[in-house]
Chain A
Amino acid sequence: MTETPMLETRDLARFFDVSRPPLQRLLAREGKRTLRAVDGVSFSIPKGTTLSLVGESGCGKSTVARLVVGLYSASRGDVRFDGQDLHAARRDPAQRSRMQMIFQDPYASLNPRWRVLDIIAEPIRAFGLVKGDAAQRERVAELLTQVGLSPLDGVKFPHEFSGGQRQRISIARALSSNPEFLVCDEPTSALDVSVQAQILNLMKELQSRLGLTFLFISHNLAVVRQVSDRVGVMYLGRIVEMAPAETLFTSPRHPYTRALMEAIPDLEMSGRQRMPVGGEVPSPIDPPSGCAFHPRCPLANDRCRAERPELKAHALTETACHAVEEGRG
């Protein structure tokens, strides 16, 4: 196990200044306010594997996605892409073309005035990968076929396609620069369930065929289970549990992970009485002391209220929880 991971983050953090304008702040006699969207996240993704980050809205998972492709700069910590510093890598087009991103909304992420051919060819042209119009058209046709569309679809506009087909176009565009690493931010959340299955199958097939590495962001645990090798569960800007997918789903340890799984309505119709977790996700501007989950946690005690737990490994699982560590869970 000496191979360099595709992506590695150490103590990654991103804060946003959400203060009111200075004059208003002065009048109201209040200080600056900082939203700690991501606060100390470390993980690494070995080549050819999929790491998923799951969590509810506001947990910071999409901010992590934007940090690792350089759309946001980090407030603290660092990101290493294939062993080198992300900022250095981003300055080099040859390195930059190795990473791509797929967004949630296939309606907003494709330019409605461009033909599909031009949308998919843009990264090819930007990185100067294929010279000559004919060769570019050929490459686009190959990409369209690869994602299950027809080469003839290149002359159409995005509005002529359904949501699932548009997401295929987004994937073809992402693949056009021959990337090794893809960041997928909720790629199927805007799609209907039967179409979602098509896209998930396509992503898995492309991964095994092209040896891609994925960072997969989702709020849907069932989807995450289908695609991941490892899963990190986020709550209020931090990873509270990280484990191989099978381990996480068969023996979740952190009380928040267990609550999330408990909350999902299932098709088993066993008539079980679910015990929904109470309360709501607190504000990341003013997070609770100690463990951020303690106000909703059935196992919380004084230590949880005072001291913030760090991620600690137990067998295959890393958990940030005093109760699990002390064997109270």
Chain B
Amino acid sequence: MNSLLEVRNLRVEFPTRRGTLVALDDVSFAIEPGEVLGVVGESGAGKSMTGAAIIGLLEPPGRIAGGQILLEGRRIDNLPYEEMRRIRGRHIGAIFQDPLTTLNPLYTIGRQLVETITTHLPLNPAQARERAIEWLELVGIPAARDRIDAYPHQFSGGMRQRVVIALALCAEPKLIVADEPTTALDVSIQAQVIALLKRLAREKGTAMMLVTHDMGVIAETADRVAVMYAGRVAEIGPVREVVKHAKHPYSSGLMASIPPLDRRVDKLAAIDGSMPRLSAIPQGCAYNPRCPQVMERCRQQRPDLLPAGETRAACWLYAHD
């Protein structure tokens, strides 16, 4: 039985004049049908890069330099552009942070939806238009039948993101890659959009890779979570375990540094320093200069993901040898 999506030892490189930067290194995880995998990390951790590699939209000169990406057991990381374009949309939908960059400002939202539907599903334009109206109703656009011929700029930010969700889901893909889908939205709108994404994913049985820096969003939405640091997966496991009993010192530090809403603390638990640049990733474990539990081994050898309770953590604390 294959996973819906399997990423194996993915490595992404950026050749530059001053040498090759390794943006992702040895990233492996799987997403099962209908599952929501949260991917968290701070800026530069490689979480968006992972999403971009999966949908085949890495910004040049970035390129996949190793590993495999399999969708239902079939490799998709080495497909020609045209073939990948058909998979994108039909099998993998994408939602980005800024709805204005996803929507074409020159076309009505109806035209964009109909084009997506007729490209991927065996429907004629009239049927596709009806389907588009159904989708707009489903994502909560009021008076969908009247608004289908409106342009993106005629919608507010929250409404635009709903249109983007309709666009990503209308060809009924099995997997959605959502990159910071609510980051540009105000908190009251964010709650509406998350509730919508969750409901649709459940009703349609769509699996989702939810990339965000907001741990609260992950805690409420994801089944499992992968914590990324400096281009690698630091910890992966069931969301409750990672949030409540994180095993990797970075994940527990990250959780502790989130200011709580329900009480005031005198001093927040900050992590000293900041994430290394890609050009200066430390030897051994990339987190070792900031880690309060650093050992000699961490400065020399890079740990792989090791079983740690119910999660797996890339940390020598869990080596039993």
Contact = CB atoms under 8 A, between A and B. Distances in A.
Q: Do A and B bind each other?
A: yes
A261 interface: yes
B195 interface: yes
Contact of B186 (A56, A163, A196): A56
Contact of B258 (A163, A201, A222): A222
B219 A267 contact: yes
Interface string B275-305: 1000000000000000000000000000000
B213 A197 contact: no
Interface in B215-261: 215-217, 219-221, 239-240, 243-244, 253-255, 257-261
B269 interface: yes
Interface stretch (A150-158, A270-278, A300-308, A309-317): A270-278
Interface string B146-174: 00000000001011000000000000000
Contacts of A198: 270-272
Contacts of B267: 201, 204
B254 A193 contact: yes
A278 B274 CA distance: 38
B268 A269 contact: no
B188 interface: yes
Given A195-B270, A201-B270, A249 B261 contact: yes
B192 A276 contact: yes
A192 B43 contact: yes
B270 A197 contact: yes
Contacts of A226: 259, 264-265, 268
Interface residues of B, number: 47
A223 B187 CA distance: 14
B191 A225 contact: no
Contacts of B158: 280
Contact of B259 (A197, A261, A269): A197
A219 B259 contact: no
Contacts of B191: 262-265, 274, 276-277
B195 A276 contact: yes
B306 interface: no
A192 B42 contact: yes
Interface residues of A, number: 43
A150 to B, nearest CB: 13
Chain A CB within 10 Å — which of B187, B214, B265, B274 has the most?
A: B187
Contacts of A261: 261
A246 interface: yes
Which of A197, A204, A221 has most chain B Cβ within 10 Å? A197
B118 interface: no
B187 A56 contact: yes
Contacts, number: 131
B189 interface: yes
A259 interface: yes
Contacts of A274: 191, 195, 220
A260 B214 CA distance: 17
B188 A277 contact: yes
Interface in A215-230: 219-223, 225-226
B52 interface: no
A249 B264 CA distance: 10
A286 interface: no
A206 interface: no
Contacts of B258: 193, 222, 267
A264 B191 CA distance: 7
Contacts of A196: 257, 259
A162 interface: yes
Interface of B: 42-43, 156, 158-159, 186-192, 194-195, 213-217, 219-221, 239-240, 243-244, 253-255, 257-272, 274-275
Given A192-B275, A200-B268, 7 more contacts: A192-B42, A198-B270, A225-B259, A246-B264, A265-B216, A267-B216, A267-B258
List the 8 closest A-B pairs by CB distance, nearest first. Answer: A265-B216, A276-B191, A197-B270, A192-B42, A197-B268, A56-B186, A263-B191, A194-B271
